[in-house]
């Protein structure tokens, strides 16, 4: 049983990395602080030291962003904390999370979450909803997965699909 994060991804990786950074900072604090530990009390894995740890991240985005072919992204993106630079958003997110885990946890037993980038037409609700609903429903009850929805990133169509799918399935 693990926690899976569901989110949209636009042109800013920070909309995904900032909420995940908060989760990992809380996980680090939970190792020594009872109040932080209570945040994850009913969450995720069976063992106390693994509660709340992200197992996977599913990001719904355009084909261009998922493939790293976004031609209008002519500037390098640099994250503020680790100065991870690049133009290909999936690689930036992966490198950032890897550096964050190394920085916060070092050799402790915490694993890199699985990352999935799912192609949707980000401006077409009729395309987004069935794909996002099918994904969320697949993680639904009985799968042993806990879903956390992030509607900070992505387009309105992606976020509406996440919210409606989470409501219909009751999984988020």
10-residue stretch averages of pLDDT, the chain, 172 residues long: 86 85 91 87 67 90 80 60 74 88 87 92 96 90 80 92 91 86
Distance CA 13, CA 1 (A): 27
* β-bridge partners, 145: 2
What pLDDT does 71 receive? 52
What pLDDT digit, counting tens, does each position of 3-23 carry? 899 999 988 888 888 899 999
What pLDDT does 72 receive? 54
What pLDDT does 69 receive? 66
DSSP code, position 11: S
Helix (H) or strand (E) holding 3, with range, is strand 2-8
DSSP for 64-112? HHHHT--TT--SPEE-TTT--EES-HHHHHHHHHHHHHHHHHTTSS--P
What pLDDT does 138 receive? 87
Q: Which residue has the tokens 């050799």?
A: 107
What pLDDT does 110 receive? 82
What pLDDT does 17 receive? 87
What pLDDT does 5 receive? 92
| Residue pair 94/80 in contact by the 8 Å Cβ criterion | no
Query: Torsion-angle region of residue 86: left (phi > 0), alpha (psi -120 to 50) or beta?
Result: left
pTM: 0.87
């Amino acid at each position: 049983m693990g926690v899976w994060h569901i989110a949209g991804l636009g042109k800013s990786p920070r909309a995904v990395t900032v909420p995940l950074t908060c989760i990992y900072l809380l996980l680090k604090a939970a190792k020594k602080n009872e109040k932080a530990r209570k945040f994850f009390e009913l969450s995720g894995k069976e063992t106390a030291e693994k509660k709340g740890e992200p197992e996977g991240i599913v990001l719904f985005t355009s084909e261009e962003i998922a493939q790293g072919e976004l031609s209008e992204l002519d500037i390098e993106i640099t994250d503020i904390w680790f100065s991870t630079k690049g133009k290909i958003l999936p690689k930036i997110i992966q490198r950032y999370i890897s550096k964050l885990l190394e920085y916060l946890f070092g050799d402790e037993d915490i694993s890199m979450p699985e990352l999935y980038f799912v192609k949707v037409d980000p401006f077409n609700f009729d395309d987004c909803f069935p794909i996002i609903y099918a994904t969320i429903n697949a993680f639904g009850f009985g799968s042993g997965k806990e879903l956390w929805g992030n509607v900070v990133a992505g387009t309105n169509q992606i976020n509406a699909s996440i919210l409606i799918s989470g409501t219909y399935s009751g999984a988020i």
